[in-house]
Structure 1
């Protein structure tokens, strides 16, 4: 977090940009799934990062 609060951006870190490969790869690495599985989750469940991580971790546990 920047010290100068006027120098912040408007990115929403709670959402995954499903059309960005680096975001999909990051989600996949973070959750221990493949990028293809991550893309499928985004298509089925939306872009909420918290929800996607919970579902992905439950998939990994199987």
Structure 2
């Protein structure tokens, strides 16, 4: 499968994936947090975007 180099966001914005470096960069920039903070949030509450945002004290959407 070819990578879509025009992709600007995650395919499923309701879930945070930490397996792709570009997605980690997207979410850290989107929430204004470090990678460690993002990973800690996902570890704490799972990969649901709304729950991670709440855990990090950020708004979603």
TM-score by length of 2: 0.61
User: Quick check: which one's helix share is greater?
Assistant: 1
Question: Cα distance, 1:28 vs. partner?
Answer: 1.4
Contact kept? 1:28, 1:35, Cα under 8 Å:
yes
TM-score by length of 1: 0.60
Question: RMSD across aligned C-alpha pairs, in angstroms?
Answer: 1.7
Determine whether 1:42 maps to 2:46. no
Q: Which residue of 1 aligns with 2:23?
A: 23
Question: Cα distance, 1:51 vs. partner?
Answer: 1.1
Uncovered stretches (5+) of structure 2, i.e. residues with no partner: 1-10
Aligned positions, number: 48
